[in-house]
Amino acid sequence: MGYIEDVLQHVYERDAAQPEFHQAVTEVFESLRPLLDRQPRYQQHRILERMVEPDRIMIFRVGWMDDRGRVHYNRGYRVQFNNALGPYKGGLRFHPTVYLGLMKFLGFEQVFKNALTTLPLGGAKGGSDFDPKGKSDTEIMHFCQSFMTELCRYIGPDTDVPAGDIGVGVREIGYLFGQYKRLANEFNGTLTGKKPGWGGSLLRPEATGYGLIYFAEEMLATRGDSLQGKICTVSGAGSVAQHAAERIIRSGGKVVTMSDSGGMIHDPDGIDAEKLAWIMEHKNVERGRLSDYVERFRRATYHEGQRPWSVPCHCAFPCATQNELTGGDAAVLLKNGVQLVAEGANMPCTPEAVEAFLQAGILYAPGKAANAGGVAVSGLEMSQNAMHGSWTREEVEARLRSIMAEIHNNIRSTAEEYGKPGHYVLGANIAAFVKVADAMIDQGVV
């Protein structure tokens, strides 16, 4: 067996029962063949073995009391994966499916994503199997305070800087920051995604979705095309999906679907700015279900338990969760003439789906490139906090645009250099790997 197979086998055996982690590692390592053939030093330094082993993993109990005085406990995690390039950086996810394998897949992806941003950021992920659905505001606050009481031992502005992810938005970041500040007795940039009124960066909530669409526009431009007039399917109805939809509409595309964990809405007339504003209010403030959309906008239909991929489109943007677009879905999308798939979520396409898109030669962008705008603006928030100042919305937007363009150029030129022009998976994985691996070699055996 070769070096890559040996390390993968080791991971499959040693970290059995972590299928998402296996999937993420396999995707990255399979891309590295042409690089490792040219550069034996990565094997000499045993970089692959060292990269799959997180620097540190914290697992802790989070006890809390609900509004009726009943006692609950959840499991909390922080996986500090790799800090070769900068302080650990990555989101927190509150969702009942959270377990160690999910945290490790997300942390591993984050290392590579953050390397692509051009900013000095290491990679981490954390969260809890706590389910925020149906909880009152005080219950959310008590949970966040208890979670932070333990997490605060491990984080800091130059150590590890958490942010949001599924189930963790500006409300949760507020409660987490309030408790952090109290325990650390410092007001600093330890969390990103804060409200702009108290240290957050303008445009951070929009950054992942906007960045995704800027990236997609860069991809389309390589074929002399744009989003103007394109039919687009979006999955999810959370932070990433909402802002992706907003940006598609502004670029002249037509968004015909969105979804949540209950099902999918299909609006053949297009979800315009006004309808999207209703969705944002309904999901973010009222915390309601997307199914209510069809009561309000009668030409739309709701499809319980379904995802958007059977709806014909030119461009598809999976923005909900991992493995939400299967090989079967990819076949249907391709049959219907899809031209571009860009991942807003982390690893939403299964390996079979990715393979189908690559074989078909459509424009396909992996999440670690296409959704890097969120963590990039988190990096900009860290800079603003460190200099005790803030940039205007225009300034942050210009920086985000130029970072997304730079990621795109870097990936395309890397793919070309390794004989696979237009292969965004190979380009992203090799470009990110080289940056992290070279830093690890420079910093010695640790």
Minimum CB separation of residue 19 from ligand 2IT in Å reads 19
- Work out whether 114 is an interface residue with ligand NDP (CB under 6 A): no
Binding mask 220-249 for ligand NDP (x = CB under 6 A): ----------------xxxxxx--------
> Which one of ligand NDP, ligand 2IT, none is in contact with 89 (Cβ closer than 5 to 8 A by kind)?
ligand 2IT
List 104, 113, 125, 181, catalytic entry = 125
> Which one of ligand 2IT, ligand NDP, none is in contact with 90 (Cβ closer than 5 to 8 A by kind)?
ligand 2IT
Of 173 and 249, the one with the shorter C-beta distance to ligand 2IT is 173
- Work out whether 166 is an interface residue with ligand NDP (CB under 6 A): yes
Please identify, among the stretches 224-232, 259-267, 297-305, 351-359, the one whose residues bind ligand NDP according to the rule CB under 6 A: 259-267
> Which one of ligand 2IT, ligand NDP, none is in contact with 318 (Cβ closer than 5 to 8 A by kind)?
none
Reduce the secondary structure of the chain to three states and give it as a string: CCHHHHHHHHHHHHCCCCHHHHHHHHHHHHHCHHHHHHCCHHHHCCHHHHHCCCCEEEEEEEEEECCCCCEEEEEEEEEEEECCCCCEEEEEEECCCCCHHHHHHHHHHHHHHHHHCCCCCCEEEEEECCCCCCCCHHHHHHHHHHHHHHHCCCCECCCEEEECECCECHHHHHHHHHHHHHHHCCCCCCCCCCCHHHCCCCCHHHHHHHHHHHHHHHHHHCCCCCCCCCEEEECCCCHHHHHHHHHHHHCCCEEEEEEECCEEEECCCCCCHHHHHHHHHHHHHCCCCHHHHHHHCCCCEEEECCCHHHCCCCEEECCCCCCCECHHHHHHHHHCCCCEEECCCCCCECHHHHHHHHHHCCEEECHHHHCCHHHHHHHHHHHHHHCCCCCCHHHHHHHHHHHHHHHHHHHHHHHHHCCCCCCHHHHHHHHHHHHHHHHHHHCCCC
**Residues in contact with ligand 2IT by the rule CB under 6 A:** 89-91, 113, 163, 165, 192, 346, 374-375, 378
- Work out whether 374 is an interface residue with ligand NDP (CB under 6 A): yes
Of 155 and 290, the one with the shorter C-beta distance to ligand NDP is 290
- The yes-or-no answer on residue 420 being catalytic is no
Minimum CB separation of residue 89 from ligand 2IT in Å reads 5
Q: Which of residues 314-343 bind ligand NDP (CB under 6 A)?
A: 319-321
Active site residue ranges: 125
